[in-house]
Amino acid sequence: MISSDRGPAEHEAAGTITYRVAESERDKSFVIKGGFSSDTVFEVVGSEGGFTIRAARLDPPVHKVFPDDEPEAEADESSGSERRFVALDGELVCGYVDTEYAPWNRRLIIADIQVASPYKGRGIGRTLMSHAIGCARERGAGHVWLEVTNINAPAIRAYQRMGFTFCGLDTSLYSGTESEGETALYMSLFLD
C-alpha cells in the first residue's frame, strides 16, 4: 500500500503502471470523462417491509457518459480529509480515486474513481481501490463507503467482487439531473 508520507521516488509498479498519492496540481485536478456500457440494471423493488434489489437485463444495453460535475468551492486542504491516488502510465494519468475521510463516523468515502477507457480491464481500478482501502486502514476507518447509480452494473459487480455490499439507496438523489429516473445505491466495505 502507498502511505501518505511517500515521496515521488517511491512508486509502486504493476507492469508499466505506477501508483502514488497525487502530488502536483496537475495530478490533483486531472479529470477523466467517465462512462460505462451495461446490459443490466439493478432494479429497486419496493415491498411492504422494505425493498429488494434485483438484477434485470436491459435490451438494448445502455451506454452512459457521466455529465460534468458542478464546479465546487475550493476544498479546505488544511483538514487533510481529502486524498487522491493516481495511476500513471509514464507521465500520463490513466486513473485516479478521490477519497474523503469523515472522522465523526470513521468512514472513508470514495468520492470518485475513474479509469481511462483504454486502460479498463487491467486491474487499475482494483489497485486504486486497494490504495484507498489502505488509506482507510491507516486513518482508523471502520468502513469504506460509496455511491453508484443502479444502471452501472459493471461497477456494482466490481465493487461486490472487492467485498462491498449494499447498505442503502436514494430514489431522489438524481432528480432534476441528467440521471433522472436512476436510483443511487450505497455500498460499504467493513474493515477489520
For 5-25, the pLDDT digits (tens) are: 333 333 444 458 999 999 888
Q: Domain of 104: which CATH number?
A: 3.40.630.30
Question: What is the number of domains present in the chain?
Answer: 1
Q: Is residue 83 part of a domain?
A: yes
What single letter denotes the amino acid at residue 52?
A: T
As a whole number of angstroms, the distance between CA 24 and CA 80 comes to: 16
**pLDDT for position 73:** 42
Q: Is residue 41 part of a domain?
A: yes
**pLDDT for position 136:** 97
Q: Is residue 93 part of a domain?
A: yes
Beta bridge partners, 38, equal 62
Q: Is residue 5 part of a domain?
A: no
Q: Which residues, in sequence order, are CB contacts of 122 under 8 Å at separation 6+?
A: 15, 17
Q: Is residue 6 part of a domain?
A: no
**pLDDT for position 76:** 43
Q: Which residue has the cell 425493498?
A: 51
Range of the domain at 26: 12-190
Q: Is residue 7 part of a domain?
A: no
Q: Is residue 4 part of a domain?
A: no
Q: Is residue 130 part of a domain?
A: yes
For 141-180, the pLDDT digits (tens) are: 999 999 999 999 999 999 999 999 999 999 999 999 999 9
Q: How confident is the model at residue 69 (pLDDT cuts 50, 70, 90)?
A: low
